[in-house]
């Protein structure tokens, strides 16, 4: 069996990925698990959100690198509208995954975000509120109401006289 030697993206050391624990940090890029954990711990939440946004866009458009057009759009949306990276990610996810819209009309950009950001925000806020409400409940307990129903009776206005054996008529 051939050894798979790779170079850690963070520390630059060569290691065998079949023996040592590793993480894939990009297309055909690897790092020691410990090195990746250290880098991940040193990143701010904003940097993590930006990285997740870029990874989602790469997956969405099936590209290896983010184009200058998309990077400019991300920067502009952040500066002009005050959108967060996680908000932009959730907006794209809502538009393409949940609403199932086609990416062919996107012109390889994310210019749809300003038009649908508030709708996606309402959707995820409703999910959040439902989660908050449901966290307080242990399990669903339906309200039980017992109702007694009398046995059915047949009433007729003029009851028919049935044949009686005791009658001699």
What pLDDT tens digit does each residue of the chain (169 aa) get?
678 899 998 999 999 988 999 988 877 889 999 998 998 888 899 999 999 999 999 999 999 889 999 999 999 999 999 999 999 999 999 999 999 999 988 888 999 999 999 999 999 999 999 888 888 776 767 788 898 888 887 766 666 666 666 765 5
63/128 same-domain check: yes
Per the domain annotation, does 155 fall within a domain? Answer: no
Q: Are residues 85 and 27 in the same domain?
A: no
**Is 102 part of any domain?**
yes
Which residues contact residue 98 at a Cβ distance below 8 angstroms, ignoring those fewer than 6 apart?
A: 123
Give the pLDDT of residue 58: 92
Residues 31 and 62 grouped into a single domain = no
The whole-number pLDDT of residue 28 equals 81
Residue 29 forms beta bridges with which residues?
26
Are 52 and 88 part of one and the same domain?
yes
Position 156 in a domain: no
Do 92 and 130 have their domain in common? yes
Alpha carbon 143 to chain centroid distance?
31
The answer as to whether 169 is a domain residue is: no
Dihedral angle at the C-alpha atoms of 39, 40, 44, 49, nearest 10 degrees? 130
Q: Per DSSP, what are the bridge partners of residue 32? A: 22
C-beta neighbour count of 22 within 10 angstroms: 20
Mark whether 51 and 130 lie in a shared domain: yes
35/87 same-domain check: no
Q: What is the pLDDT of residue 159?
A: 64
Same domain? For 55 and 128 the reply is: yes
**Total of domains in the chain:** 2
- Considering the domain architecture, whether residues 19 and 81 belong to the same structural domain is answered as no
| Host domain of residue 19 | 1-42
Is this model's pTM higher than 0.85 or not? Answer: no
Is the domain of 1 the same as that of 64? no
- How many beta carbons lie within 10 A of that of residue 90, not counting itself? 19
**What is the distance between the alpha carbons of residues 97 and 104, in angstroms, rounded to a whole number?**
14
Residue 141 counted as domain residue: no
Same domain, 81 and 33: no
d(CA 73, CA 109): 8
Instruction: Tell me, yes or no, whether 62 lies in a domain.
Output: yes
């Amino acid at each position: 069996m051939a050894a798979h030697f790779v170079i850690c993206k963070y520390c630059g050391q060569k290691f065998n990925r079949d023996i040592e624990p590793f993480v894939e940090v990009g297309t055909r890029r690897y790092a020691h698990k410990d090195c990746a954990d250290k880098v991940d711990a040193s990143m701010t939440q904003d940097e993590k959100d930006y990285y997740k946004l870029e990874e989602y866009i790469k997956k969405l458009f099936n590209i290896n690198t983010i184009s200058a057009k998309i990077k400019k759009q991300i920067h502009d949306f952040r500066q002009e509208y005050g959108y967060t990276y996680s908000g932009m990610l959730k907006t794209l996810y809502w538009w393409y995954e949940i609403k199932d819209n086609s990416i062919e009309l996107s012109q390889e950009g994310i210019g749809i975000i300003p038009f649908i950001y508030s709708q996606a925000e309402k959707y995820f806020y409703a999910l959040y509120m439902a989660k908050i409400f449901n966290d307080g409940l242990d399990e669903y307990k339906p309200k039980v109401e017992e109702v007694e129903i009398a046995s059915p009776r047949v009433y007729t206005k003029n009851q028919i006289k049935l044949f009686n054996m005791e009658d001699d008529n």
